[in-house]
């Protein structure tokens, strides 16, 4: 992929769009270990990182990769790693450390079927891991959920800015469909981004200034709690400032389909089809999974309205939907797992079932 000087339409995979987005965002350090379905990302980085004077490392393991990213972030680089589900599990200790040290980093996870080594087909079963911590301790990642190749590209660029703004790791959470599919998208002229503020915390040699320390071990009484209070205050700020979602045809909807990422595209197709058939179906898509659009969902919970959550998992995001709605409306779920993909036909059948169940509840 060449970097254009005018807006150009490109046909590329989600994985490559993420890699190119990262390079354009000023990412100059990438470490990763190959795993399907995200190898195109590593491959792209291997080929193109040297062109911009950046560093590409195929590490000896996923654990090594996240710790290299940890080190690069300490030194002030815009740094990234990527993997798919089993590999992301391996990275959790490092991610917890990066969150504790309040360092910026971007992690891409193109989810595949699990648990265990699983398979190489698309899944969304790492939602809990991504949004509820994953590693140990009270921390959060910012989790962005692109649904198209365009968004994969745009959100990756933004991820680096968010990571710097909040000094927090950001995860791009996609799946095997998004990673491997090719789709036409618009690439705007490249402009290498830079952090808006000077990084006044990095360890880049202390000659002429006071030494700095970056650490996540706090044994003195009360110190670790103070760190946690500070982190929680930051997380509340992120919740206020960063929530993103897309909402379509919700005003008159009897039933609202809720989905993110690739399954949201199936839900969107079903919503369109259902509207043509005269059914009042709406569509809600969280674009940030953490922070979750809790308030926006709560406002949609009205009498005589139901929700149907579609996921490629046994039911994970549905828990956040239920927490948001707090029993004000029925919330139904349909999912496939282990690499299964919901068909439009099956989702449509679930829509009809949910409408029927919701109506019988109203009576």
- Among 93-101, 202-210, 229-237, 264-272, the segment contacting other proteins (CB under 8 A): 264-272
Contacts 24+ apart (CB under 8 A), 224-232: 227/100, 228/138, 231/99, 231/100, 231/102, 231/138, 231/139, 232/138
Q: Does 276 bind other proteins (CB under 8 A)?
A: no
Residue with Cβ nearer other proteins (11 or 362)? 11
- As measured in angstroms, the least distance from the Cβ of 45 to other proteins is 19
- As measured in angstroms, the least distance from the Cβ of 146 to other proteins is 13
* Adjacency order of strands within the sheet including 245-248: 245-248, 281-286, 255-258, 306-311, 331-335
Q: Is 261 left (phi over 0), alpha (psi -120 to 50) or beta?
A: left
Near other proteins in 32-71, by CB under 8 A: none
Residue with Cβ nearer other proteins (69 or 287)? 287
Near other proteins in 282-341, by CB under 8 A: 341
Near other proteins in 180-219, by CB under 8 A: 180-184
- As measured in angstroms, the least distance from the Cβ of 269 to other proteins is 4
Size of the site for other proteins (CB under 8 A): 18
Can you tell me whether residue 185 is helix, strand or coil? strand
Q: What are the b/e assignments for 175-187, b being 16+ CB within 10 Å?
A: bbbbbbbeeebeb
Burial label, 159 (beta-carbon count in 10 A; 0-12, 13-18, 19+)? buried
Alpha helix ranges (H) inside the chain: 14-24, 39-48, 62-74, 85-90, 92-100, 127-131, 149-166, 176-180, 223-242, 261-276, 294-300, 317-325, 344-362
Q: Does 343 bind other proteins (CB under 8 A)?
A: yes
> Looking at 117, 226, 345, 361, which residue binds other proteins (CB under 8 A)?
345
- As measured in angstroms, the least distance from the Cβ of 80 to other proteins is 24
Site string for other proteins, 103-142 (x = CB under 8 A): -----------------x----------------------
Tokens describing residue 115: 């648990």
Nearest-angstrom CA–CA distance, 185 and 171: 22
Residue 114, phi then psi, degrees to nearest 5: -140, -170
- Among 61-69, 179-187, 311-319, 325-333, the segment contacting other proteins (CB under 8 A): 179-187
> Looking at 193, 199, 234, 272, which residue binds other proteins (CB under 8 A)?
272
Residue with Cβ nearer other proteins (120 or 242)? 120
Near other proteins in 7-26, by CB under 8 A: 9, 11
Residues making contact with other proteins (CB under 8 A): 9, 11, 120, 177, 180-184, 265-266, 268-269, 272, 341, 343-345
């Amino acid at each position: 992929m060449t970097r254009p000087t005018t807006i150009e339409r490109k046909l590329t995979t989600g994985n490559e769009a993420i890699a190119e987005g990262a390079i354009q965002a000023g990412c100059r350090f990438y470490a990763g270990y190959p795993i399907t379905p995200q190898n195109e990302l590593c491959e792209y980085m291997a080929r193109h990182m040297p062109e911009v004077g950046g560093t590409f490392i195929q590490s000896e393991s996923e654990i090594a990769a996240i710790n290299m990213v940890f080190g690069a972030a300490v030194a002030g680089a815009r740094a990234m790693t990527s993997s798919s589900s089993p590999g992301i599990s391996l990275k959790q200790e490092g991610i917890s450390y990066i969150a504790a040290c309040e360092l910026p980093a971007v992690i891409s996870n193109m989810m595949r079927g699990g648990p265990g080594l699983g398979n190489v087909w698309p899944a969304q079963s790492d939602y809990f891991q991504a949004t509820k911590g994953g590693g140990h301790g009270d921390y959060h990642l910012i989790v962005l959920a692109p649904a198209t190749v365009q968004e994969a590209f745009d959100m990756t660029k933004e991820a680096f800015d968010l990571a710097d703004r909040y000094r927090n790791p950001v995860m791009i959470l996609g799946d095997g469909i998004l990673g491997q599919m090719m789709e036409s998208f618009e690439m705007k002229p490249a402009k290498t981004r830079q952090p808006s503020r000077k990084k006044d915390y990095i360890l880049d040699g202390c000659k002429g200034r006071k030494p700095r320390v970056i650490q996540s071990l706090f044994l003195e009484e009360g110190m670790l709690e103070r760190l946690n209070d500070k982190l929680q205050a930051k997380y509340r700020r992120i919740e206020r400032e960063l929530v993103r979602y897309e909402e379509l045809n919700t005003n008159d909807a009897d039933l609202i389909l809720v989905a993110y990422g690739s399954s949201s595209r199936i839900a969107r197709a079903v919503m369109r089809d259902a509207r043509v058939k005269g059914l009042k179906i709406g569509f809600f898509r969280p674009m940030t999974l953490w922070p979750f659009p809790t308030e926006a969902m709560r406002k949609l919970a009205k009498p005589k309205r139901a929700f149907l959550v579609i996921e490629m998992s046994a039911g994970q995001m549905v828990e956040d939907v239920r927490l948001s709605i707090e029993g004000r409306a029925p919330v139904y779920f349909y999912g496939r797992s282990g690499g299964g993909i919901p068909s439009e036909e099956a989702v449509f059948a679930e829509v009809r079932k949910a409408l029927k169940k919701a109506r019988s509840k109203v009576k």
